Amino acid sequence: MKSLFFEDYQLGDSRQTFGRTITESDIVLHAGQTGDFFPHHMDAEWCKTQPFKERIAHGTLIFSVAVGMTAGEINPEAFSYGYDRLRFIKPVFINDTITCKITISDKRDHKKPQFGIVAEKLEVHNQNGQLVLVCEHLLMVNRQNTEA
């Protein structure tokens, strides 16, 4: 575990994940867990009559997988404060492979002076480099210097 305090985060720093292929099993399991059995995700024949022509993954599935892909290291000085500005830009299809880029996009004070807020821009791309999802992950991070 690597400790990063609020002061350690630098605007513009980024990291990239490895790829993860979205499978039919992912979609079926997510539908069962959430109760979202909309035909866009489950009915291959119906989807042939729609603009995308094939089943699409749930946006919430892609969001969940992306969050998991980016959670490779535990920082004992920070915890997730939530997500803002979540947008599903393009559909993800069965057998698409997604990757994630995380960039430190903002740092700001918190109402409690021992903490700061670090915003990470999370961008999810498919195998063609197309942006499919974007959001802002907010971290509440301990300050090393609580005099701030």
Q: What's 12's domain CATH number?
A: 3.10.129.10
Single pTM value for the model: 0.93
> Does residue 42 fall inside a structural domain?
yes
Provide the token pair at 109: 């004070």
Which residues of the chain, if any, have pLDDT below 70? 146-148
> Does residue 132 fall inside a structural domain?
yes
Q: CA-CA distance, 118 to 141, in Å (whole number)?
A: 7
> Does residue 21 fall inside a structural domain?
yes
pLDDT number for residue 132: 98
Q: Which amino acid is at 23?
A: T
> Does residue 77 fall inside a structural domain?
yes
Q: Which domain holds residue 70?
A: 6-142
3-class state of residue 24 by DSSP: helix
How many other C-beta atoms lie within 10 A of the C-beta of residue 108? 10
pLDDT number for residue 31: 97
Q: Which residues contact 81 (CB under 8 A, 6 or more apart)?
A: 117, 138, 139, 140
> Does residue 147 fall inside a structural domain?
no
pLDDT number for residue 72: 81
Q: Identify the CA nearest to 14 among candidates 67, 70, 81.
A: 70
3-class state of residue 14 by DSSP: strand
Q: Which residue has the tokens 């959670």?
A: 71
pLDDT number for residue 130: 98
pLDDT number for residue 124: 98
pLDDT number for residue 148: 47
SS (H, E, C) 82-136: EEEEEEECCCCECCCEEEEEEEEEEEEECCCCCEEEEEEEEEEECCCCCEEEEEE
Domain total in the chain:
1
